[in-house]
Amino acid sequence: MSQPQMRRAIESGVPDNRQFLHPLLIKNYGNWKYHDRPRPGVLHHVSHSGDEVWTVRAGTQRQMDVFTIRKLCDIADRFAESHVRFTIRSNIEFMVSSFAKVGPLIQELEASGFPVGGTGNSVSMIAHTQGWLHCDIPGTDASGVVKALMDDLYDEFRREEMPNRVHMSTSCCEINCGGQADIAIIVQHTKPPKINHDLVANVCERPAVVARCPVAAIRPAMVNGKPSLEIDEKKCMCCGACYPPCPPMQINDPEYSKLAIWVGGKNSNARAKPTFMKMVAAGLPNNPPRWPEVSEVVKRILHAYKSDARAWERMSDWIERIGWPRFFEKTELPFTKYLIDDWRGARANLNASTHIRF
Ligand code: SF4
Ligand code: SF4
């Protein structure tokens, strides 16, 4: 009788994570009794079996060279138990089975330039999109903004002194694969795309590009005897959605591509329902390599939130309680016409009513 055949490896999708887990995590999978946080950056899990695991969380720059990865693996071998994992916010976590290993591990991580923190009511690492390194349509960097900003928020990462957790994100185009956040930094194009008519016929599928525009601002046109496209600039809302399928419709511009800051989004159902964020600062300069203007506004919002919110209020809860007019007063951000959300489906959100005056 022939032997049963081994199943062939599936070469797509994520691999089974259990092969990479710390042995105590596999042993106690689904059997945890409780967890607590003995100090910022350290999680302590206790199992019904009596096993205990301490997890030390450190911040990374996310896009890492091989030398940094080797350094982190080396720390895992020498000071932890050779197991690490990454969180969705690009923090790295080291698991150990004894409290005695926690102190030396923290000391080594901090001495090597990896701050320990990001747990509980801290400003955790910023979830960010791909930026200049990987994506083909960014108007700014994402990792660079994150690095510059987290350098400024270093102490808020290492402490748990915020009213509740603060989740931030950055997105390097208006398509915004960064998602909702308490504070989000998102590219904002302020001029319609410029069309390179010589290339459109060779590069773009015109019906697909016309269909892509959310406000029907693009139409087919003949330019210099060649099939091309034209934009009704009065309709165009500068979203940049036409640029990915048609690179000759260039929208990135060193002067007119700006950064905007949005606040009050969250995904969780804890305490209050999930919320969409709203724009509170527009037209900030896209100013690499440190983006100081963005950092200034973010710090101002964080400072107001930290000093005024009640315990356990997320950013959206705080704004809901004090109202948008007082949010702008307390953060001393100017309320301008660019912040009015006049999309007709947006009746229930920021300043949809013409009767609101600031
Ligand atoms: S936000 Fe836009 S440019 Fe940045 S990675 Fe996502 S899709 Fe690409
Ligand atoms: S930028 Fe957006 S609104 Fe403007 S033409 Fe392109 S898809 Fe349409």
The neighbouring-strand residues paired with 93 are 57, 85
Q: Is the CB of 173 under 6 A from ligand 2?
A: no
**Above 80 in pLDDT, residue 9?**
no
294 DSSP 8-state letter = H
> What's the gap in Å between 201 CA and the centre of ligand 2?
18
Residue 264 is classified by DSSP as -
Task: Verify cis geometry, omega within 30 degrees of 0, for the bond prior to 292.
Answer: no
> Token pair of 37, please?
């946080």
Which one is predicted more confidently, 206 or 14?
Answer: 206
Residue 184's pLDDT is 95
Point out the ligand 1 atom lying closest to the alpha carbon of residue 131. Answer: 4
Q: What residues does ligand 1 touch, defined as CB less than 6 Å away?
A: 129-130, 135, 137-138, 142, 171-173, 175-178
Residue 356: pLDDT band by 50, 70, 90 thresholds?
very low
Find the 344 Cα to ligand 2 centroid distance in Å: 18
Alpha carbon distances (Å) from 265 to 179, 189, 262? 9, 21, 8
Q: Which residues in 60-75 are b (16+ Cβ under 10 Å) and which e?
A: bbbbeeeeeeeebeeb
> Residue 347 and residue 119: Cα distance in Å, rounded?
36
Q: Which atom of ligand 1 is nearest to the CA of 187?
A: 1
CA of 189 to the centre of ligand 1 (A): 14
**Paired strand residues for 160:** none
Q: Identify which ligand lies nearest to the alpha carbon of 229.
A: 2
State the pTM of this model: 0.88
SS3 state at 110: helix
Domain 131-190+254-341 has CATH 3.30.413.10: yes
Report which ligand 2 atom has the smallest distance to the Cα of 235.
3
Among 329, 331, 265, 278, smallest CA distance to 303 is for 331
Could you give the strand order of the β-sheet that contains 84-86, starting from the edge strand earlier in sequence? 32-39, 42-47, 52-58, 92-96, 84-86
Q: Which residues contact 4 (CB under 8 A, 6 or more apart)?
A: none
Query: pLDDT value at position 61?
Result: 82
Alpha helices in 132-284 (DSSP H): 143-152, 154-158, 197-203, 206-212
In this prediction, residue 351 carries a pLDDT of 43
Per-residue pLDDT at 201 exceeds 60: yes
Average pLDDT score over residue span 186-211: 93
The answer to whether 236 touches 209, Cβ cutoff 8 Å, is no
At residue 345, the pLDDT reads: 55
Q: Is it true that 131-190+254-341 and 194-249 share their CATH fold?
A: no
Residue among 258, 284, 288, 282 nearest 132 (CA): 288
Q: How confident is the model at residue 342 (pLDDT cuts 50, 70, 90)?
A: low
**Atom 4 of ligand 1, residue of closest alpha carbon:** 172
Instruction: Name residue 251's amino acid.
Output: I
Q: Is the CB of 238 under 6 A from ligand 2?
A: yes
What is the pLDDT confidence band of residue 347, given thresholds at 50, 70 and 90? low
The total number of residues shown for the chain amounts to 358
**Number of the ligand closest to the Cα of 235:** 2
Q: Pick the residue whose CA is nearest to atom 8 on ligand 1.
A: 135
In contact, 315 and 242? CB cutoff 8 Å = no
CA angle 58, 63, 64 (to 5 degrees): 75
pLDDT at 268 over 80: yes
**Which region among 19-33, 130-144, 244-258, 320-334 has the lowest average model confidence (pLDDT)?**
130-144
Number of the ligand 2 atom closest to the C-alpha atom of 216? 8
Q: What is the pLDDT of residue 348?
A: 54
Residue to mutate (ligand 1; options 171, 239, 259; most atoms within 8 A of CB): 171
Tell me if residue 226 falls in helix, strand or coil. Answer: strand
Would you state the pLDDT for residue 142?
84
Testing ligand 2's pocket by substitution, the residue of 212, 235, 236, 249 carrying the most ligand atoms inside 8 A of its CB is 236
Judged by average pLDDT, the poorest of 3-7, 31-35, 168-172 is 3-7
Ligand nearest to the CA of 135: 1
Residue 270: band (very low, low, confident or very high) from pLDDT cuts 50, 70, 90:
confident
Q: At 344, is the pLDDT very low, low, confident or very high (cuts 50, 70, 90)?
A: low
Numbers of helices and strands, H then E, in the chain: 10, 14
Give residue-wise pLDDT tens across range 137-182. Answer: 888 888 888 889 999 999 999 999 999 999 999 999 887 787 889 9
- Protein residue whose Cα sits closest to atom 8 of ligand 2: 213
Q: Is the dihedral of CA 301, 302, 307, 313 positive or negative?
A: positive
pLDDT for the residue 57? 98
Domain spanning 17-111: which CATH class is it, in words?
alpha beta
Predicted pLDDT of residue 170? 92
Please state the rounded mean pLDDT for residues 320-332. Answer: 94
Ligand closest in space to the Cα of 240: 2
Atom of ligand 1 nearest to the CA of 175: 2
| Domains in the chain: boundaries | 17-111, 131-190+254-341, 194-249
- Among protein residues, the one whose CA lies closest to atom 6 of ligand 2: 242
Cα dist. 259→43, 194, 203, 222, 328 in Å?
35, 19, 29, 34, 18
Could you give the CA distance from residue 112 to residue 117 in angstroms, rounded to a whole number? Answer: 15
Q: Establish whether residue 41 lines the binding site of ligand 2, counting it when its CB lies within 6 angstroms of any ligand atom.
A: no
Taking residue 230's Cβ as centre, other Cβ atoms within 10 Å add up to 14
List the residue whose alpha carbon is closest to atom 5 of ligand 1: 130
CA 238 to centroid of ligand 2, rounded, Å: 5
One-letter-per-residue 3-state SS of 296-328: HHHHHHHHHHHHHCCCCCCHHHHHHHHCHHHHH
The model's pLDDT over 53-106, given as tens digits with 9 standing for 90+, comes to: 999 999 998 888 999 999 999 999 999 999 999 998 889 999 999 999 999 999
Which ligand has the minimum distance to the alpha carbon of residue 170? 1
Predicted local confidence at residue 185, as pLDDT: 94
Atom 4 of ligand 2, residue of closest alpha carbon: 236
The string of pLDDT tens digits covering residues 203-246 is 999 999 999 888 889 999 999 999 999 999 998 989 899 998 99
Tell me whether residue 12 is exposed, middle or buried, using C-beta atoms within 10 angstroms of its C-beta: 0 to 12, 13 to 18, 19 or more: exposed
The CATH fold assigned to 194-249 is Alpha-Beta Plaits (3.30.70)
Q: To the nearest whole number, what is the mean pLDDT of the chain?
A: 90
**Six token digits for residue 109:** 């991580």
Output the six-digit token pair for 193: 């795309």
